[in-house]
Structure 1
């Protein structure tokens, strides 16, 4: 039985649709979300509604927490400016749905958090290493948050970051996801209608600064000290 992991959708419904269409074609048994359904882009309700419609369960990401519980990001003005817009458009039903997300899921022999096992919401595993996972019990681990797709093997332990559906930051602009057949993880990419995202963001009042990084798979974040 093959399952799929999607992560860091960030309100990019065009990317989400393309990924889900590919997963339907692949006939995976079940899909799980590794957090950050919302954030950055304008179609937060569409993303929430589609995951709810399909019964896709998600762990809590930092952007889900920001929007669900009224928080703000301490690192980026861009994130906070997007949150102001998203708070105006998201439905109360979807806010309550975000609030119900768990910090961690166990799916068979796979442990899932959004960020890391030291801080499930906001730890960046930018350099996954054997020492880190030696402290954890279990065999298979999945987290997102960095938007960088990867698989790392440390003896009998395997760590997978499925990458970002809605905002890749690893130099490949295609939407990312991963599958797991019970023993082996596999990474995947799929193209999507990026221009539609640009047009929707412009209509929402955002200029290229907020979405231009999608073109190259690079992050473009304005720091609070800027």
Structure 2
């Protein structure tokens, strides 16, 4: 009987291999998705960079801007003072919402979409969540493999101990059978020796008796018959 081709063990090993293969496919799909997202982000960064460069090239030089600014400021200062002296007007202060939207308006003026940072954060959060899922899945698979390994080793140890006990029992039975066989042989041999010794003694006794009879015949007197 072969203990290696256990159907249950083969089915479990096939299930573990299938789970590992499915995890590999899922990881490949997620990696491809991450590559696509990174590619889209790179394209977006390239477009933003080109927009920034275009906006910078369209802006006037700092020297011209300074000269025109000084001229406009001088004329505007004269007009403002004249208006203030004639019609004094209070200046409204900017609200917090207006202040917060000012950098966004500036970014939009430079061609930078405000949602770019949110997309980057969402991509990082999605990547982190997917990596955590993969880690959990692999930890579960490793735990299943470890459990399977422990159970199979335990079963193999039990089988080994069972076989050892069976072999010990067979060895004991074989030893007893051997001893019984040796005892029977010795008993038969002893009986044969005793019988042979008895036959020897009997034959020797017969021979001695015949020898005695022969001797007694030789010693007997000879009778002569005298006839006249």
Shorter-normalised TM-score: what interval? under 0.3
TM-score computed with the length of structure 2 as normaliser: 0.17
The structure with the greater share of residues assigned to strand is 1
> Which structure: larger Rg?
2
Higher relative contact order (CA 8 A, sep 6+): 2
TM-score computed with the length of structure 1 as normaliser: 0.17
The structure with the greater share of residues assigned to helix is 2
